[in-house]
Amino acid sequence: ATAIVSDSTTNNPPYECTYLAAEINAIDAASRERHTGQEQQRLRLRREEVRTREFRLGC
């Protein structure tokens, strides 16, 4: 069996949780503005990716 090691378990600087929180705030602010449905979907998916990253890091 081969173990897959993601970037979240190695080489993560200590400020990454702060950066991710700031990115969530920026995404939330952008999603409150008027956008096309496609852009809103892109923001929603990006927010989900960032939240998943936060969870994996234990932020």
pLDDT at 3: 39
Indicate yes or no: pTM above 0.85.
Answer: no
pLDDT at 59: 86
pLDDT at 4: 44
What are the pLDDT digits (tens) for 4-52? Answer: 444 444 455 678 999 999 999 999 999 999 989 999 999 999 999 999 9
Q: What CA–CA distance (Å, rounded) separates 6 from 11? A: 10
pLDDT at 1: 41
What is the CA 29 to chain-centroid distance, rounded?
Answer: 14
Q: What CA–CA distance (Å, rounded) separates 58 from 16? A: 11
Instruction: With residue 13 as reference, give the H or E element that holds it.
Output: none
